[in-house]
Amino acid sequence: MDNTNKFSFLRRFLKGHTIILPVDLADKHLYLYYEQNPNVDVSRVDITYIDAVELKIDYYSEDAQLIKTFKETGAENVKEITETLSSLYESGLILFKEKLFVAFSHKLTQDQINDLKESLGIVDYILLRDYNPVLQDIFSNVDPELSAMDIRKEISEKIINAAEANGCTYLYVAGEPTVVLLTTVLAVNNTMRVIQSTTQRISKDIEMDDGTIKKVSEFKHVQWRDITNEILNAFE
């Protein structure tokens, strides 16, 4: 990857994300002008790529306490550091803090939240309903008169923009079929991974006071299914 492509990669892929970097790599490769206190154990460095001219660097102790925040500004300084980050990313030496954007008309269940962490390492998620309630209402009540182009411009693209603005690396979208399809394709085209929640329906017979039987269905989360690679394969 040449320098121009490296910088473009960082601007597109890392904006708003937190990069968790071992402190020895940060000290060795990035030279962030941090004057370490020899009595303080710096065990983790979080680097938030803000925009083309600013990086925010947070230093943490072993007990996850914030020690110091440092901001590197200026296009040339940031470019030099982001090129180094690209090289480290290609070498598999940096870890991204995964974040999920949820476009859904309901809340996530506790089983879904637990499985995000256990199976995908995702501990942070943003709900469309919290970030943009107006867009959530449009998403939940899609006008049947809208064309596919209108849906893409007025709903799907805005969802992707919201996800990127929050530094999300994963997307979960469930709802009106056209919205789901177009938003999914846009997400994959923007280097996001797309997941879907699978469920199992469990039916129970409950005897009522009058002796009648009422059938009740419960839906239990089974897994998060990552569909990103199969979407890419379908377009090959």
Same domain, 139 and 167: yes
Same domain, 29 and 112: no
* 128 neighbors 139 (Cβ within 8 angstroms): yes
Same domain, 56 and 140: no
pLDDT at 75: 81
* 47 neighbors 167 (Cβ within 8 angstroms): no
| Tokens at 61, concatenated | 């102790």
pLDDT at 54: 82
What domain count does the chain have? Answer: 2
| Tokens at 42, concatenated | 């710096």
- Taking only the tens place, the pLDDT of each residue in 131-171 is 999 999 999 999 999 999 999 999 999 999 999 888 788 99
- Is the pLDDT at 34 greater than 60? The verdict is no
Same domain, 85 and 187: no
Domain edge (last residue) among 54, 74, 96: 96
Domain edge (last residue) among 63, 96, 129: 96
Same domain, 159 and 199: yes
Range of the domain at 12: 3-96
pLDDT at 6: 46
* 168 neighbors 194 (Cβ within 8 angstroms): no
Mean predicted confidence (pLDDT) in 85-95: 70
| Tokens at 133, concatenated | 């309630």
Query: In a 3-state reduction of DSSP, which class is residue 126?
Result: strand
pLDDT at 226: 94
Same domain, 92 and 179: no
Cα Rg, the chain, nearest whole Å: 22
Name the residue with higher pLDDT: 86 or 151. Answer: 151
Across all residues in the chain, what is the average pLDDT?
81
pLDDT at 9: 47
Confidence label for 81 from pLDDT (cuts 50, 70 and 90): confident
Alpha-carbon distance 163 to 159, whole Å?
6
Same domain, 43 and 89: yes
The helix/strand count (H/E) of the chain reads as 10, 10
Same domain, 167 and 58: no
Specify which residues 109 forms β-bridges with. none
Confidence label for 36 from pLDDT (cuts 50, 70 and 90): low
From 39-48, 202-211, 227-236, the region with the lowest mean pLDDT: 39-48
